[in-house]
Structure 1
């Protein structure tokens, strides 16, 4: 397994000799409107992709599948909808099948509980994209677990630390967990993605998974930076993989 962190929650996953693009946000810097009801009005994404146009075309032409945890625009933007091959398999929540079909994608694979694909089992997990009424408004969201005979990878998706995440960790005992940090927050309500404290709870889970923290530095309502998260994790006497854009992570 190898993972290249591209931007926000967008990952290129090399898995079992296949290449899977996760939560593609592929538009240029400033191509999306600001997230409303936030503490600033910066346009999104706030950074460019770490690949140039030629490199992006080569990357997209090499793909075997797409995985979309949910359709919020920082995980599935209009550029991705326009430039990705409509014939690629797309793993998704059942709730997103109709919209993705209307966008022209022809190989939808909704994951109700689990599916088998190319010697890999892909299972869907729950999550909470915030608390209270905001959490209800942001739903549905999902995580996904990929398992082969060597490795188990849990992509938690847009969720805070919650019982659903704890249960997924207990059930699958993943070798690696990708968490969406950033402590995204509106002017009202609690954070809707993982805070530093949430990431620390994930690291401390008895499964002892290696935690990869992303979803920072690209969207205007994500206020936890990579640097601040590194400080918090280190102060707790723990470690996590907190990649920079473009960085590769390889399974040990």
Structure 2
């Protein structure tokens, strides 16, 4: 299994001879208004994609399916919806099925609990996109555990540390975990995705796993950048196992033994 961080939560996952595009946000730098009710009003994405624009069509042509944790605009943006072939399989949580179909996609496959797709087993997991009233307003979110090529990869999605994450780690014992970090938050309320301290908590809870913190330095309501996340993980003594990849980087997943 191979995983590349494109930007934010957008990943390429190559497994069982197939290529999945996860949570595509494909707009160029500054195309969208900032996330409202945030500490600053900087247009997003804060950075460009880490590849020339003329290479994007080739990348998208290589994709066999799209996997969506949820349909917030920083995970499923209008540019991605415009550029992707409408007949491409879109694998998603049940709550988003009709939304994606209404956007013109003709091959939408909801994952209730588990889906065996082209040699990849996809297990849907739960999460909490914040706490209290804000968490309820953010709506349903999912994570996914992918099993292929003798490896398990847990994509936690937009969630804070919670019972659902703990249960997924205990049930699946993944070899690698990708966490949406940055501690994004609004002017009121708690973070709606993991902070660096929660990334460390995941790493301590799953000592067998390599942990990767993504979802950084792309949206204006994130409170923690890569430098702060790396520093926090180093102070916790977790730098050897908890990583903060750069945009465009292939993640060095643990080798099979």
- What is the distance in 2 between the residues matched to 1:195 and 1:13? 24
- What is the distance in 1 between the residues matched to 2:3 and 2:54? 20
SS state of the match for residue 122, structure 1? strand
Gaps of 5+ in 2: none
TM-score (norm 1): 0.98
Specify the alignment match of 1:46 in structure 2: 46
How large is the Cα RMSD of the aligned pairs? 0.9
Question: Residues 206 and 177 (structure 1 numbering): CA distance in 2 closer, same or farther, change over 3 Å?
Answer: closer
- What is the distance in 1 between the residues matched to 2:124 and 2:139? 15
Gaps of 5+ in 1: none
Specify the alignment match of 2:244 in structure 1: 242
Which range moved further: 160-169 or 242-251?
A: 242-251
SS state of the match for residue 137, structure 2? helix
1:232 partnered with 2:232: yes
Note the alpha carbon deviations across 1:22-66, whole angstroms, 9 max, x for none: 000001111111100000000110000001122111000111110
For the 8 Å contact 2:146–2:154, the answer to whether it is kept is yes
Note the alpha carbon deviations across 1:129-174, whole angstroms, 9 max, x for none: 0000000000200001101251000100000000000000000000
Q: 1:77-226 alignment to 2 at 5 Å?
A: 77-226=77-226
Task: Give the CA deviation at 1:208.
Answer: 2.4
1:33 partnered with 2:59: no
- What is the distance in 2 between the residues matched to 1:109 and 1:226? 34
Question: Residues 207 and 107 (structure 1 numbering): CA distance in 2 closer, same or farther, change over 3 Å?
Answer: farther
SS state of the match for residue 116, structure 2? strand
- Number of corresponding residues: 252
- What is the distance in 2 between the residues matched to 1:149 and 1:32? 38
For the 8 Å contact 1:174–1:207, the answer to whether it is kept is no
- What is the distance in 2 between the residues matched to 1:207 and 1:66? 30
- What is the distance in 2 between the residues matched to 1:74 and 1:23? 8
For the 8 Å contact 2:15–2:148, the answer to whether it is kept is no
Question: Residues 97 and 107 (structure 1 numbering): CA distance in 2 closer, same or farther, change over 3 Å?
Answer: same
Note the alpha carbon deviations across 1:81-123, whole angstroms, 9 max, x for none: 1000111111101011101001111111100000101111101
TM-score (norm 2): 0.96
Task: Give the CA deviation at 1:2.
Answer: 1.3
Question: Residues 206 and 20 (structure 1 numbering): CA distance in 2 closer, same or farther, change over 3 Å?
Answer: closer
Q: 1:14-29 alignment to 2 at 5 Å?
A: 14-29=14-29
